[in-house]
Structure 1
Amino acid sequence: MSDGPGFESFPDPEHPGWYTWQLKDPTRFNTWMFEKLIVRRDDDGKARLRMFPQRHHTNLQGMIHGGTTLALIDVGLFACSRMLGIIEAGTALTLDMSVQFIGAGKEDRPCDAVIELLKETRRLVFLRGIVEQDEGPIAAFSGTIRKPTAR
């Protein structure tokens, strides 16, 4: 399914039950930062955005860089909101994020931002979640996004 002029999302053939989440323009931040992102809605009503860490996502200790984690959370607020049926892809904005780093992420396995809706108003969406890998939590967060303005 096409999600507007800038995004594409369709079933990922390598990961049954998941959808791709990508920008059509490879020079934009999302595509530059993350070569591949996939997203799905879980049975518990939460949504999950998965990244596949690479060396350029790591710090000098060989762990996932905090900036990578922050970027995953920010992209996840929108991708997961779309999977939860709250917004269409487009011109929504991040208003705030609060992040608590809990553990270190490793380069050699997928990393997920798992997000749940707290409240939705006419203009705002309040979300919270956790970034996790097999070993456990990497970060906890909350965020608020403003829905796109009708033009």
Structure 2
Amino acid sequence: MRIIFVDGYNVINSWPNLKKEKKYSFEGARQTLIDILHNYSVYEECKIVIVFDAHMVAGSIEKKEEIYKNVSVVFTKDGETADSYIEREVHNIGRKFEVYVVTSDWLQQQIIFQRGAVRISSIEFYNEVLKTQNKITSAKGSSESNVKNNLSDNLEEDIFKKFEAWRRGK
């Protein structure tokens, strides 16, 4: 199984849509990231671990939640960065599974590469996620292409008749 570790705040600060959203709601940007990656994980059949720093939150303990079957969210403990958590986990499983790490932190990329993981920059991953979203949309569209969407299906009958009379010039 492919496991992808995502440095959550690094991604939020790199992806244009999330960068914009965090200005209004940091929690909203986190949830949007979780939802996007859930869709990605289901379609691509992989496990995703999103890691958020809590190293600046005094007294914080490590908190790990399995949000969906394929998505876990980790908030690191006080004094631990997302980078160090990811390094530790990659060190433990890096050569047993196909492991990817999403971060734009150059030093982090070098360390995880040495531990058996493949690195993906946040922007590279953003583009990969967009491609997958387009595949999902295309697949959904082709499965619905046999279903016609007529104007009459969406309007009340009397309004449709008025439009039809207008169209015919009556």
Same fold? TM cut 0.5: no
| TM-score (normalizing by structure 1) | 0.29
Return the index of the structure with the highest Cα Rg: 2
Task: Give the number of the structure whose residues are more often strand, by fraction.
Answer: 1
Bigger proportion of residues as helix: 2
